Amino acid sequence: MQTLTGIVPGAVGVSKRFSDNTEMPGTLTMTPIACTSTPLLALEADLIIVPWFEQEDPSAVPGLDAATGGDIARALASKEFSGRLFEHLLTTVAGTNGRARRLLVAGAGSSSEYRTELARQIAAAAGIAARSRRAGRVAFALRDRGEPLDMAQAVAEGLTLSEFNVGAYKTDETPPPAAPTWTIVLPERSADAVAQVRAGIDRGRLLAECSNLARVLANEPGNTLTPREFAQRAAALAGESGVGVDILDEARIAQLNMGLLLGVARGSSEPPRVIVFDYTPSQGQYPPTAPVLGLVGKGITFDSGGISIKPADGMERMKDDMAGGAAVACAMRAISILKAPIRVVGVVPATENMPGGRAIKPGDILKSAAGKTVEVINTDAEGRLILGDGLWYAQQLGATHLVDVATLTGACVVALGKSTSGLFGTPPEWVEHVRRVANRAGDRVWPMPTFDDYREQLKSEIADFTNTGGRPAGSITAALFLKEFTGGRPWVHLDIAGTAWAEEARPYLPKGPSGVGVRTLAELAFTSTEWNFRT
């Protein structure tokens, strides 16, 4: 695998710029999150955040109520604050020995339900609240619940996710304040225990930073993030971490006979690209018989629907149709920095889907790189076309286990709404493994069926199959289309059409791109010892 010209592994700042050398809006500068077991009220901080559970009395955190002059007890007694999920109580620290200025008591709901997913969300919501109050030094108290390392990683992820700025292009508003310096405060622990938790915090910080970088990419408008620009930025993000990167231009794509990708690209004046990533562990750490994880992401930088054009209402959102590709690129960055124990390859086919004079038409037949022919029924079912060629190419690079991620179908949104991604694949053991990893990572998924009889909806009279099976079971037939290009390998398809973009703000997630998939894809690379089923 050749490294892209101009991208030097370890180079600093490459990912932070456009090709015209101007600054990329929203780019983050990651600083470490501190970790301490210093008593809360002895901390030097502008704001202390303490999760508070329902039914707790004012003495639940010793000395805290007294330090606030009894404000916590008064708020609990008056029901101004009860510990309900995402409820906040802001008060001052009045104790004579206290060094912190203010206290944010964050409702954490039922203590019995407080797990990593809730800890991540509570930390993100409290982090957003802390930033809105322009706190410069913020400490988050880790309550004595759950496994400390896992909970600390989740909290670090939540605090980092709160740093994303969706309004990077606004010029008429005061820019949001810089992210605070974060400190996670542990219950009293030994120095060795603090060092162990420190590793989880660093991991969470990196994984969430990579999620935020994917959000930056997905938030870019289509006029700046063309396929070529997307390829340059994605290559830079992964390449500076040491990942091998190769960008295939239209000539090399044609040499590989990727007819599905080339067909979709025909309607645009912007040429397509395929971004190829290759991470291999250090020599001697990677046996030849080890599995190879193949990650494939949809990279449609703008989707008009092509000849089967979309309604105008909401079409502006189609700038995020490359969120799956962004997830792959940023997961590859995390995989390399964290030094995964197995080889991982990534493939992101990138193009626009436009209704130009040369655009594919309903009724056209395209031939894939795998040799299969596809009758195009609807040109707005383009994501599965480019993923078909991408899945084939991942296998040519040696992938033994496949995961693709894509904003693929509105049908999945109808089925699962906007808080859960669709999970499809085979064999069941591989699907279940990815489900467990995704849910641990905070990317909630739900398994969907892939019964063979659904494939009848893709039957074509003149080609191997059609590119859409119609409205019934639309997300399932889309997944079965992709299955045709997996070569019988263990494969999972993540449909993130409903989860890649938050259309309504939540306490822990502002309106805009979510960065879904990054943490799941990255964590999969560290679980190969659990792949204990036949391939």
CA distance 273 to 265: 9
Cα(373)–Cα(388) distance, integer angstroms: 11
Question: Is 459 annotated in the active site?
Answer: no
User: What residues pair up with 445 in beta bridges, in sequence order?
Assistant: 421
Q: Are 140 and 100 in contact (CB under 8 A)?
A: no
d(C-alpha 412, C-alpha 434), whole Å: 18
Asked about 384 being catalytic, the answer comes back as yes
Pick the catalytic residue: 198, 203, 319, 384? 384
Q: What is the DSSP letter of 272?
A: P
The angle subtended at Cα 113 by Cα 111 and Cα 117, nearest 5°, is 115
* Set 17, 99, 133, 310: catalytic member: 310
Q: Alpha-carbon distance 375 to 379, whole Å? A: 10
The amino acid at 350: A
Q: How long, in residues, is the chain?
A: 535
CA dist., res. 355 & res. 333, Å (int): 34
**Within 10 Å of residue 21's Cβ, how many Cβ atoms?**
6
Q: Write the CB contacts of 162 (distance below 8 Å, at least 6 apart in sequence).
A: 123, 124, 125, 126, 127, 128, 130, 131, 179, 508
**H helical segments located in 168-239:** 191-218, 227-239
Distance CA 56, CA 129 (A): 22
Q: Which residues are catalytic?
A: 310, 384
